[in-house]
Every structure is written in C-alpha cells, then in structure tokens.
C-alpha cells in the first residue's frame, strides 16, 4: 500500500508542479503543497522499499542489495529535501524581495553547495531506481513492462536541464512504475513470482548437489 501511495503522490505532484521560469517560482501558491506531496511520496517510498527489502534481504545478490541501498538512500535524501528545503525554506526566501535572488535558479544557493547537493541526490535517485527496476525484472519480481516505466526516473530528476515537460512525463512514468510494483505486492503476484524463482533455484542447486 505504501508504494502505491508513493507512486500516486509522485504523479500528482508532477502534474500540479508549477513552472520554474519566473524568478519567484517558489513563491507560487502551489509550490509548497506540491513539494509536500513529493515529500510524502519519498517518505512512503522509503517505508515501502524498506519493507520489501526486509522480505527479500536473505536471498538478495550483491547487485540487489546495492540497488535497494541506492533507492533507499535516495528516498531518505528526497524526503529531507522536499520537506525542509523545497516546501519550507525556498518559499520563504522567494516571498521576500531582499532574499529572492538567493532562491533563483541562477542564484548563489542553486549554483553553490545546495545545488550540488540536489544534483547528487537526483543522480542517486535515478541510478537507484533504474538499477532496482533492472534487478526486479531480472529476478522476475516484476514484469518487463513494469520495469520499463522506471525509465521515467532520469527524465524526472534531470529536469532541468531537460525541459519541464520531460520532468512531468518522467514523474508520471516513475509514479506508475512504483504504484504498479506496490499493486503487484498487494495482490501477491510479486511474492508468488519470487517464491517460484527461488524454488527453481533451490531445485537446481539440489540437482547439482546430487550430480
């Protein structure tokens, strides 16, 4: 359920995300609520992935653990970024004429350490979700179609420099992918696929042991 909510909130947040062309972009009425939605999306995603990791941890290969580690770290960073920076600090700065230049895309915050931290967070998120999708498809946890939707991650996190439209499309694709994963787990499809895969692996190992 948490992953379903995470995906839905991510998609809604990107649908209603205001443009960033104006210098006072963070002062628009929709900015703070939208980033609260995105913050809850990251928080629910963190909890949902942590639960899934707990179920799969014993049988995860190194690549799987790395994928989950990156995805979990990304959601930790995104939760803090969305709640405390995007939804709280930036709107306050943008509404004050004296501090508005600080929050502009070309200002000292976004071109300095904060911008670098945001960029690193986005790279971790894109790498984490892409690697996680590949691993889950490879382990037959999710379908190929579900995995393809995670291609929205790099479109979302690199907007900008990609155009805003790519970010919206990426958010919708990634949100759908996360929600689909949550639905699969909810109805038991993912668990059945995983159990079937592990059973086949155990049978193969047993056969090799008797060979």
In this model, does residue 70 exceed pLDDT 90? yes
| Alpha-carbon span 150 to 136, nearest angstrom | 11
Supply the DSSP symbol for 40. H
Average pLDDT of the segment spanning 74-100 = 92
In this model, does residue 119 exceed pLDDT 60? yes
Cβ neighbours of residue 26 closer than 8 Å, sequence gap 6 or more? 86, 90, 91, 93, 94, 103
Question: pLDDT tens-digit profile of 180-206?
Answer: 999 988 877 666 666 666 666 666 666
What pLDDT, on a 0 to 100 scale, did the predictor assign at position 44? 98
Choose from 20-24, 63-67, 204-208 the range with maximum mean pLDDT. Answer: 63-67
Distances 100 to 29, 46, 117, 159, 199 between C-alpha atoms, Å: 16, 32, 20, 22, 59
Contact 74, 131 (CB under 8 A): no
Average pLDDT, the chain: 88
**pTM of the predicted model over 0.75:** yes
Contact 79, 46 (CB under 8 A): yes
What pLDDT, on a 0 to 100 scale, did the predictor assign at position 158? 84
Six token digits for residue 190: 């993912």
In this model, does residue 131 exceed pLDDT 80? yes
Question: pLDDT tens-digit profile of 154-177?
Answer: 998 887 777 888 999 999 999 999
| Alpha-carbon span 128 to 197, nearest angstrom | 23
What pLDDT, on a 0 to 100 scale, did the predictor assign at position 184? 87
Average pLDDT of the segment spanning 122-134 = 95
Output the CA torsion 140→153→172→174 (10° steps): 20
Q: Pick the closest to residue 139 from 207, 47, 46, 62 (CA basis).
A: 62
Six token digits for residue 83: 């709640």
In this model, does residue 74 exceed pLDDT 90? yes
Six token digits for residue 61: 């290969």
Burial 142-172 (b: 16+ CB within 10 A, else e): bbeebbebbbbbbbbbbbeeeeeebbbbbbb
Contact 82, 157 (CB under 8 A): no
């Amino acid at each position: 359920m948490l992953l379903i909510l995470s995906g839905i909130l991510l998609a809604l947040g990107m649908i209603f995300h205001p443009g960033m062309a104006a210098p006072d972009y963070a002062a628009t009425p929709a900015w703070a609520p939208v980033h609260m939605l995105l913050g809850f999306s990251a928080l629910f995603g963190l909890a949902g992935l942590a639960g899934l990791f707990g179920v799969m941890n014993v049988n995860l290969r190194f690549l799987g653990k790395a994928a989950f580690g990156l995805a979990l770290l990304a959601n930790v960073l995104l939760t803090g970024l969305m709640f405390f920076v995007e939804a709280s600090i930036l709107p306050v700065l943008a509404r004050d004429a004296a501090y508005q230049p600080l929050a502009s895309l070309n200002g000292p915050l976004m071109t300095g350490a904060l911008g670098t931290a945001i960029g690193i967070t986005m790279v971790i998120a894109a790498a984490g979700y892409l690697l996680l999708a590949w691993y889950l498809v490879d382990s037959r946890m999710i379908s190929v179609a579900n995995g393809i939707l995670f291609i929205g991650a790099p479109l979302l996190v690199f907007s900008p420099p990609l155009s805003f439209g790519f970010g919206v499309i990426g958010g919708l694709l990634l949100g759908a992918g996360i929600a689909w994963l949550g639905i699969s787990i909810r109805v038991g499809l993912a668990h059945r696929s995983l159990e079937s895969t592990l059973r086949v692996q155990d049978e193969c190992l047993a056969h090799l042991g008797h060979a």
